[in-house]
C-alpha cells in the first residue's frame, strides 16, 4: 500500500477532482490531462507522423572498436541499396562544419559523428538516410570502416595510471569560466579535479574510532520508457527541430554555434517527454540530426532503438575511498573522501557532477575537519552524464554506510547517532555555505517514526532475518541559473503561460498553472502551459537538477504578480478607485467603494474594446553563487538552496538465497512547501523506486568497453513485484525564504539515501557490510558465507575463495 502521512481518510488517497476552489497552491489537483495520459492521447515527439514518407529516416553505423583511428569509411555498397538516399560520414560533417561539429556542455569534445577516431563501442561513424527506417537500419550493415586500433582505457585504474589517453588534449567549452585553466592540458584522462579542505584532517590520526572503506557504484542507465527522437529540417535558412530534450535553450545555443547561425535562426520545439531522468539533455541526437539536415537540406528523423538509447548516455560509475573518524565521546571529528567518476568517452557534465557531488561527500553532518578530492576521468566507454541525483547518490552510498558503521562501532543507535551530528538551520556545511531550509532532523525523524524505529523487528534465527536501516541525503540545487516566464491573460480570464520548462512526468505544467492560479485567483485548469518552443517560450537554463519549482516557479510567481498589478491598474483607471485600494479575488476586482466586484473579463474587454484580446507580461528570475575556491572548495554561497531527504527501511533477508525483501520503505523530503502534495508524493515514491533498482539489481555491465546487458531483455528494472510491501512518502515542509510560497524542488530528493538505507538494514539483519552496488543475491549470499566462515572456520568446509572485491572496477 501507499501510505499518506497524517491522512486517515481513504478519500485522500486519490487526487482531488477539478472542483471546488481554484486548485491552486497546496491543492492535490490532478495533473494536466490525466485521461489523455491514461488513454495514450498525449502526443510525444515520436508520435508526430511516425511513418512520414516526406521525411527521410536516419540510421547509424556504429563503431565496433572501443578506441581506434578511422582509416577509411566505405559507403558505396550502402548507397547502392534501393531506398537509400544518402550516406553521410563523420568526415563529411567535419568537412562541412570543421571543429564546430564538436560540442558539449563542459568540454567541446564530442563530435556529432566520429570523424578521425572512435572512442567507444557504439559511437556513430556514418549515417544512412533512406525512405524508411527499416531500409536505413538494414543498410548500415553495408557501411564498412577500416580501423587502426589504439590502446583503450576500460576503467578508472586504466584512466589514472595507464599510458593511453582518450583525448589528446583537454578542450573546455566556452560556457564555464572556471574550466579555462584546463585548456590544452595533455597526457591525462583527468578532465576535472575538485578539492575541498576544511579544518585539519590530520586530526584523523588521533581519533579514537574510525571506519575506512572503498565503495563502488556501477554505471546504470535511466531507461525512460520513451525512446529519444529528433526531427530536424531546414526552412528558408533556418534550422528547425522537434526533439525529445530537457534542455531546449541549451540545444538552440549548441545548434546555433555548430551551424554558425544567429539564435533567431534556430528553432527547438519539444513535446511532453515520456520520462527522462537526465537522459535527454545536452548533446544527444540533436547535433547529429541538425548537422545532417543542414548538410543535406532534407527533413530527417532520427529515433533511437532501445539498444541505441543505452549508448547515448549513462550514469557515472564511481569509486569512493573514504573514512570517518570520531573522538572518544563519539563526536565526529574528521571525514575524508577520494572520489573518481568515470565519465566515459565524452565529459558531458561530468566535471560539474564531480564538483557538486564532491562537495557533499562528507554528508550533512557537523564535522570540523574534512578533506575531499573528487576527480572526473575519461574512459573508452559510452559517455556518462546527469542522472536523477547528479552524482550525489554515489557519495551518499559512501557517507551513509560509513556513519552507520561508525555508530555501531561506538555502540550508538544509527538513527540517534546521525541525529546528534546532523546540520541544523544556520550551521555552516563542509564547503562553507550556511544551511537554510534543509530540515535533515525533521526528515530523519519522519521516516524513523514511519517504520517504528524505536521497536525494531525480531531479528529471527532461521532462514529469514530481519533488520532496519536508515540514511539521509543532501544535495544542492543547480546554481547559478536563469528562468524566464511570459504570461498572456486572455480576455475571458483564462491564461497562457510561456516557459521553456519541459513537462516529462514530474508535473511542471500542473504546478506552474497552480502558481498562476494562486496569484490571479483563477481556476488552475484555466491556465495552459505552452510546450517549450524556442521561437516562442523564453530562455530557461534547463529542466533538471530539481530546479524548476524554485527557479521557474519564482519567474512564474513574479509574472503573475505583475499581471495582477496590471489588472488592478486597469480597474483603477476604469473605476476611479485608486489601485492601492483594490483587491483581486475569485469574484473579480473589488475595493471599499465598490461592493460589486469588477469581473476580470469585463476589465480587459473595456480596456481593448474587443473580445479575445490578451494582456502580456514578462519576468525573469536569476540566481547567483560564489564559485568555490579552487584549492579549498570553500564558498560563502555555493547554492541557492538545499535538498534534504531521508529513507528508512525494514527488510527481511533470505539467508538461503541472499535475496532482500523490502517490508516497509519510508522516504521523506524537505520540499519547503508542497505546491501539489500529491505530485510531491509521486516524486518521492518514484525516485525511491528507481533507487530500489540501483540498490538491488540495476547495473550496466561492460566487458572491454562493450555492453553485455544493453537490452531490456537483459537489463533489469523495478517492476510491480519489486515494490516494498509498504511504501510511505512523507512531505516535510521547512519553507525557504525566497521560494515561491516557500517551495523548493523535489525530483531528486527521494533517490539519494535509498541504497545505503537498504544496505544498512542488511547490516542490521545479518551483520554484513557490503560496499559494492548493487546488493545482488549473489553478493549478499557470498558475504553471509564469508562471515560464517570467519566466525567458525573449523565448521566451514573450506575457506571462502571469494576475497572482497570492493571497488575493483
Partner 1 sequence: MSRISLVVDGNRYVAEITDSALLLDVLREQAGATGVREGCGVGACGACTVLVDGVSVSSCLALAERYDGARITTASGLPADDEVVESFVECGATQCGYCIPGFVMMAHELLTENPEPDKEDVVRHLDGNICRCGTYAEIRRAVLAAAEKRRAR
| Binding site residues, partner 1, CB under 8 A | 1-2, 13-15, 30-31, 34-44, 46-47, 50-51, 134, 222-227, 272-275, 277, 305-307, 504-507, 678, 682, 685-690, 711-713, 717-721, 723, 727
Q: What are the backbone angles phi and psi of residue 459, rounded to the nearest 5°?
A: -65, -35
Q: What are the cell numbers at 467?
A: 533488520
Q: Which CB, 231 or 291, lies closer to partner 1?
A: 231
User: Could you give the CA distance from residue 72 to residue 261 in angstroms, rounded to a whole number?
Assistant: 31
Q: Which CB, 506 or 524, lies closer to partner 1?
A: 506
Taking a C-beta distance cutoff of 8 angstroms, is the pair 209, 409 a contact? Answer: yes
Least separation in angstroms between residue 728's CB and partner 1 is 10
Q: No. of H helices and E strands in the chain?
A: 18, 32
Taking a C-beta distance cutoff of 8 angstroms, is the pair 295, 88 a contact? Answer: yes
* CA dist list (Å): 176 to 399, 626, 716: 29, 14, 37
Q: What is the 3-state secondary structure (H, E, C) of 545-577?
A: CCCCCCHHHHHHHHHHHHHHHHHHHHHHHHHCC
Q: Which CB, 743 or 751, lies closer to partner 1?
A: 751
Least separation in angstroms between residue 249's CB and partner 1 is 21
Q: Which CB, 247 or 398, lies closer to partner 1?
A: 247
User: Could you give the CA distance from residue 342 to residue 354 in angstroms, rounded to a whole number?
Assistant: 10
Taking a C-beta distance cutoff of 8 angstroms, is the pair 577, 593 a contact? Answer: yes
Q: Which CB, 556 or 692, lies closer to partner 1?
A: 692
Q: Which CB, 1 or 569, lies closer to partner 1?
A: 1
Residue 706 has a CB neighbour count (10 Å cut-off) of: 16
**Distance linking the first and last C-alpha atoms of the chain:** 38
* CA dist list (Å): 70 to 62, 90, 164, 337, 346: 12, 10, 17, 40, 18
Residue 608 has a CB neighbour count (10 Å cut-off) of: 13
* Conformation bin of residue 770: beta by default, left when phi > 0, alpha when psi is -120 to 50: beta
User: Could you give the CA distance from residue 517 to residue 587 in angstroms, rounded to a whole number?
Assistant: 13
Least separation in angstroms between residue 600's CB and partner 1 is 30
Least separation in angstroms between residue 29's CB and partner 1 is 10
User: Strands 229-235 and 238-243, how do they pair?
Assistant: antiparallel
Least separation in angstroms between residue 135's CB and partner 1 is 10
Least separation in angstroms between residue 554's CB and partner 1 is 24
750 by DSSP, 3-state: which? helix
Least separation in angstroms between residue 499's CB and partner 1 is 18
| Residue found by looking up cell 512547501 in the block | 673
Least separation in angstroms between residue 34's CB and partner 1 is 5
Least separation in angstroms between residue 132's CB and partner 1 is 9
| Residue found by looking up cell 530540515 in the block | 439
Q: Which CB, 159 or 688, lies closer to partner 1?
A: 688
For 189, residues 6+ apart whose C-beta sits below 8 A from its C-beta are: 153, 159, 160, 162, 165, 166, 167, 377, 378, 379
Q: Which CB, 227 or 579, lies closer to partner 1?
A: 227
User: Could you give the CA distance from residue 209 to residue 76 in angstroms, rounded to a whole number?
Assistant: 69
Burial 476-492 (b: 16+ CB within 10 A, else e): bbbbebbbbbbbbbbbe
| Residue found by looking up cell 576544511 in the block | 198
Least separation in angstroms between residue 231's CB and partner 1 is 14
Least separation in angstroms between residue 306's CB and partner 1 is 5
Least separation in angstroms between residue 60's CB and partner 1 is 16
Q: Which CB, 279 or 541, lies closer to partner 1?
A: 279
Least separation in angstroms between residue 31's CB and partner 1 is 7
Q: Which CB, 220 or 354, lies closer to partner 1?
A: 220
Q: Which CB, 32 or 145, lies closer to partner 1?
A: 32
Q: Which residues on neighbouring strands pair with residue 468, listed in sequence order?
A: 650
Q: Which CB, 277 or 282, lies closer to partner 1?
A: 277
C-alpha 783 chain-centroid distance: 32
Q: Which CB, 223 or 572, lies closer to partner 1?
A: 223
| Residue found by looking up cell 476611479 in the block | 576
Q: What are the cell numbers at 215?
A: 565503495
Amino acid at each position: 500500500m501507499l501510505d499518506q502521512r497524517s491522512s486517515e481518510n481513504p478519500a485522500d488517497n486519490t487526487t482531488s477532482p477539478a472542483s471546488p476552489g481554484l486548485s491552486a497552491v497546496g491543492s492535490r489537483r490532478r495533473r494536466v490531462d490525466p485521461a489523455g495520459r491514461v488513454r495514450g492521447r498525449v502526443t510525444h515527439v515520436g508520435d508526430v507522423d511516425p511513418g512520414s514518407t516526406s521525411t527521410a529516416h536516419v540510421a547509424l553505423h556504429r563503431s565496433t572498436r572501443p578506441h581506434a583511428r578511422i582509416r577509411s569509411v566505405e559507403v558505396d555498397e550502402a548507397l547502392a541499396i534501393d531506398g537509400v538516399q544518402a550516406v553521410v560520414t563523420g568526415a563529411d560533417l567535419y568537412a562541412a562544419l570543421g571543429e564546430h561539429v564538436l560540442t558539449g556542455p563542459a568540454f567541446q569534445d564530442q563530435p556529432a559523428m566520429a570523424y578521425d577516431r572512435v572512442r567507444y563501442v557504439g559511437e556513430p561513424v556514418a549515417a544512412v538516410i533512406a525512405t524508411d527506417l527499416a531500409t536505413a537500419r538494414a543498410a548500415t550493415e553495408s557501411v564498412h570502416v577500416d580501423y587502426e586500433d589504439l590502446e583503450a582505457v576500460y576503467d578508472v585504474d586504466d584512466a589514472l595510471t595507464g599510458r593511453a589517453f582518450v583525448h589528446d588534449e583537454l578542450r573546455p567549452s566556452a560556457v564555464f569560466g572556471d574550466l579555462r585553466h584546463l585548456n590544452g592540458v595533455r597526457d591525462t584522462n583527468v578532465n576535472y579535479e575538485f578539492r575541498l579542505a576544511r579544518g585539519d584532517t590530520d586530526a584523523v590520526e588521533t581519533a579514537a574510532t574510525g571506519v575506512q572503506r572503498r565503495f563502488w557504484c556501477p554505471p546504470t542507465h535511466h531507461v525512460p520508457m520513451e525512446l529519444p527522437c529528433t526531427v530536424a529540417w531546414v526552412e528558408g535558412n533556418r534550422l528547425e527541430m522537434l526533439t525529445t530534450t530537457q534542455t531546449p535553450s541549451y540545444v538552440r545555443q549548441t545548434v546555433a554555434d555548430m551551424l554558425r547561425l544567429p539564435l533567431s535562426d534556430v528553432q527547438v520545439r519539444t513535446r511532453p517527454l515520456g520520462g527522462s531522468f537526465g537522459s535527454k539533455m545536452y548533446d544527444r541526437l540533436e547535433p547529429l540530426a541538425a548537422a545532417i539536415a543542414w548538410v543535406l537540406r532534407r527533413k530527417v528523423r532520427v529515433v533511437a532503438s532501445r539498444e541505441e538509447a543505452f549508448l547515448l548516455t549513462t550514469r557515472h560509475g564511481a569509486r569512493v575511498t573514504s573514512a570517518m573518524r570520531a573522538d572518544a565521546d563519539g563526536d565526529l571529528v574528521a571525514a575524508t573522501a577520494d572520489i573518481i567518476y568515470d565519465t566515459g568517452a565524452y565529459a558531458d557534465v561530468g566535471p560539474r557532477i564531480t564538483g557538486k557531488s564532491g562537495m557533499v561527500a562528507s554528508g550533512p553532518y557537523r564535522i570540523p575537519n574534512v578533506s575531499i578530492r573528487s576527480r572526473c576521468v575519461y574512459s573508452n566507454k559510452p559517455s556518462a552524464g546527469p542522472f536523477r541525483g547528479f552524482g550525489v547518490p554515489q557519495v551518499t552510498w559512501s557517507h551513509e554506510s560509513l556513519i552507520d558503521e561508525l555508530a555501531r562501532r561506538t555502540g550508538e543507535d544509527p538513527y540517534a547517532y546521525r541525529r546528534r551530528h546532523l546540520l541544523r538551520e544556520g550551521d555552516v556545511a563542509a564547503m562553507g555555505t550556511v544551511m537554510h531550509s534543509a530540515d535533515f532532523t525533521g526528515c530523519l525523524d519522519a521516516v524513523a517514526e514511519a517504520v517504528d524505529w524505536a521497536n525494531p523487528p525480531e531479528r529471527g534465527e532461521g532462514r529469514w532475518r530481519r533488520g532496519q536501516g536508515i540514511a539521509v541525503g543532501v544535495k544542492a540545487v543547480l546554481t547559478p541559473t536563469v528562468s524566464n516566464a511570459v504570461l498572456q491573460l486572455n480576455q475571458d480570464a483564462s491564461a497562457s503561460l510561456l516557459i521553456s520548462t519541459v513537462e516529462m512526468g514530474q508535473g511542471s505544467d500542473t504546478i506552474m498553472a497552480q502558481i498562476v492560479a494562486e496569484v490571479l485567483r483563477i481556476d488552475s485548469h484555466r491556465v495552459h502551459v505552452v510546450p517549450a518552443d524556442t521561437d516562442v517560450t523564453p530562455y530557461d537554463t534547463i529542466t533538471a537538477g530539481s530546479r524548476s519549482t524554485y527557479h521557474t516557479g519564482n519567474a512564474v510567481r513574479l509574472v503573475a504578480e505583475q499581471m495582477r498589478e496590471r489588472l488592478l491598474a486597469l480597474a483603477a483607471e476604469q473605476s476611479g478607485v485608486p489601485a492601492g485600494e483594490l483587491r483581486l479575488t475569485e469574484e473579480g476586482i473589488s475595493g471599499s467603494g465598490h461592493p460589486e466586484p469588477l469581473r476580470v473579463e469585463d476589465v480587459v474587454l473595456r480596456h481593448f474594446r474587443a473580445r479575445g484580446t490578451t494582456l502580456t507580461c514578462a519576468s525573469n528570475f536569476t540566481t547567483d553563487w560564489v564559485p568555490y575556491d579552487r584549492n579549498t572548495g570553500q564558498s560563502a554561497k555555493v547554492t541557492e538552496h538545499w535538498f534534504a531527504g531521508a529513507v528508512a527501511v525494514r527488510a527481511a533477508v533470505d539467508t538461503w538465497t541472499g535475496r532482500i525483501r523490502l517490508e516497509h520503505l519510508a522516504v521523506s523530503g524537505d520540499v519547503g512547501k508542497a505546491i501539489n502534495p500529491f505530485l510531491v508524493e509521486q516524486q518521492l515514491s518514484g525516485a525511491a523506486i528507481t533507487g530500489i533498482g540501483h540498490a538491488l539489481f540495476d547495473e550496466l555491465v561492460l566487458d572491454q568497453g562493450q555492453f553485455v546487458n544493453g537490452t531490456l531483455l537483459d537489463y533489469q528494472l523495478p517492476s510491480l513485484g519489486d515494490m516494498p510491501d509498504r511504501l510511505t512518502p512523507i512531505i516535510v515542509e521547512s519553507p525557504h525564504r525566497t521560494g515561491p510560497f516557500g517551495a523548493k524542488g523535489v525530483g531528486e530528493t527521494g533517490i539519494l539515501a535509498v541504497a545505503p538505507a537498504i544496505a544498512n538494514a542488511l547490516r542490521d539483519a545479518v551483520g554484513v557490510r557490503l560496499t559494492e552496488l548493487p546488493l545482488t543475491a549473489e553478493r549478499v549470499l557470498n558475504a553471509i558465507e564469508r562471515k560464517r566462515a570467519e566466525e567458525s572456520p573449523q565448521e566451514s568446509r573450506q575457506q571462502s575463495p571469494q576475497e572482497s572485491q570492493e571497488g575493483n572496477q
